[in-house]
């Protein structure tokens, strides 16, 4: 399980306005491109010094490609990154303030503590 890489996807998309839109409109294509081109880039050193070993599992790739935040929560994604990016993706589709956030909570309502471990 590559919780770190899932978080890296959420983190690098969340901080880039163009990537947020790209991931909203074409999740499967964006995940495929990102895994091929960006997953191994270490963020504060030149791109030529990239890592060589980071890949998603099939379950992780599918959860990201399906915008499936319930499964991403269950895979141990960092709760703050997950919420922040998905607010950016979908809050705009709801009429009431906080409606998306409350739906997010309701879809996780089968969970009680302890939640999935977010430690990386």
How far is CA 63 from its chain centroid?
A: 9
Q: Is residue 108 within the footprint of another protein (CB under 8 A)? A: yes
d(CA 26, CA 30): 6
- Token pair 């999740």 is found at 27
26-34, 54-62, 72-80 -> range binding another protein (CB under 8 A): 72-80
d(CA 69, CA 14): 14
Q: Is residue 94 within the footprint of another protein (CB under 8 A)? A: no
Q: How far is the CB of 43 from another protein (least distance, A)?
A: 6
Q: How far is the CB of 14 from another protein (least distance, A)?
A: 6
């Amino acid at each position: 399980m590559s919780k770190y890489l899932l978080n890296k996807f959420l983190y690098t998309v969340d901080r880039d306005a163009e990537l947020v839109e790209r991931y909203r409109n074409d999740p499967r294509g964006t995940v495929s491109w990102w895994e091929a081109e960006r997953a191994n880039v270490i963020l504060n050193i030149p791109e030529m010094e990239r890592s060589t070993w980071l890949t998603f599992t099939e379950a992780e790739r599918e959860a990201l490609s399906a915008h499936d935040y319930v499964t991403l929560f269950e895979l141990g994604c960092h709760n703050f990154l997950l919420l922040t990016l998905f607010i950016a993706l979908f809050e705009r589709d709801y009429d009431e303030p906080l409606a998306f956030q409350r739906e997010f909570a309701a879809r996780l309502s089968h969970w009680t503590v302890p939640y999935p471990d977010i430690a990386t």
